[in-house]
Amino acid sequence: MEATEQEPLDVESIRADFPILDREVGDGAPLVYLDNAATTQTPEQVIDVFSEYYRGYNANVHRGIHQLSQEASIAYEEAHDRLAEFIGADGREEVVFTKNTTESINLVAYAWGLNELGEGDAVVLSEMEHHSSFVTWQQIAERTGAEVRYIRVDDDGYLDMDHAAELIDEDAAMVSVVHASNVLGTVTPMRELADLAHDNDALILGDGAQSVPNRPVDVTDLDVDFYVFSGHKMAGPTGIGCLYGKQEVLEDMEPFLYGGDMIRRVTFEETTWNDLPWKYEAGTPLIAQGIGLAAAADYLDDVGMDAIQAHEERLTEYAYERLDEFDDVEIYGPPADDRGAVVAFNVDGIHAHDLASILNDHGVAIRAGDHCTQPLHQKLDIAASVRASFYFYNTMAEVDALVDSLDAARDIFG
Ligand X SMILES: Cc1ncc(COP(=O)(O)O)c(C=O)c1O
Q: Write phi, then psi, for 353 (nearest 5 degrees).
A: -70, -40
For 328, other C-beta atoms within 10 Å of its C-beta total 11
Q: Hey, which residues between 354 and 383 contact ligand X (CB under 6 A)?
A: 372
Q: How far is the CB of 319 from ligand X (least distance, A)?
A: 18
Using rule CB under 6 A, residue 209 touches ligand X: yes
What is the largest distance, in Å, between two alpha-carbon atoms of the chain? Answer: 73
Using rule CB under 6 A, residue 101 touches ligand X: yes
Nearer to ligand X, 207 or 312 (CB): 207
Q: How far is the CB of 207 from ligand X (least distance, A)?
A: 5
- Strands 122-126, 147-151: pairing is parallel
Nearer to ligand X, 38 or 282 (CB): 38
Residue 372 is a catalytic residue: yes
Using rule CB under 6 A, residue 230 touches ligand X: yes
Using rule CB under 6 A, residue 210 touches ligand X: yes
Candidates 132, 389, 395, 405; binder of ligand X (CB under 6 A) is 132
Q: How far is the CB of 380 from ligand X (least distance, A)?
A: 16
Q: How far is the CB of 110 from ligand X (least distance, A)?
A: 15
Candidates 140, 178, 212, 366; binder of ligand X (CB under 6 A) is 178
Distances (CA, A) of 313 to 43, 293, 397: 21, 24, 15
Q: Which residue in 37, 105, 217, 372 is the catalytic one?
A: 372
Nearer to ligand X, 210 or 405 (CB): 210
Nearer to ligand X, 122 or 209 (CB): 209
Using rule CB under 6 A, residue 106 touches ligand X: no
Q: How far is the CB of 38 from ligand X (least distance, A)?
A: 6
Q: Which residues, other chains included, contact 82 with Cβ-Cβ below 8 Å and sequence gap of 6+?
A: 294, 297, 298
Candidates 41, 42, 73, 102; binder of ligand X (CB under 6 A) is 102
Q: What angle do CA 159, 165, 170 make, to 5 degrees?
A: 135
Nearer to ligand X, 389 or 395 (CB): 389
Using rule CB under 6 A, residue 211 touches ligand X: no
* Number of residues this chain uses to bind ligand X (CB under 6 A): 14
Candidates 36, 40, 41, 100; binder of ligand X (CB under 6 A) is 100
Q: How far is the CB of 10 from ligand X (least distance, A)?
A: 28
Angstrom distance (rounded) from CA 414 to CA 409: 8
Using rule CB under 6 A, residue 126 touches ligand X: no
Nearer to ligand X, 57 or 134 (CB): 134
Q: How far is the CB of 142 from ligand X (least distance, A)?
A: 20
Nearer to ligand X, 107 or 403 (CB): 107
Q: Which stretch binds ligand X (CB under 6 A): 40-48, 203-211, 347-355, 383-391?
A: 203-211
Q: Which stretch binds ligand X (CB under 6 A): 41-49, 89-97, 99-107, 279-287?
A: 99-107
Q: How far is the CB of 408 from ligand X (least distance, A)?
A: 27
Active-site residues, by number, are 372
The binding site for ligand X (CB under 6 A) comprises: 37-38, 100-102, 130, 132, 178, 182, 207, 209-210, 230, 372
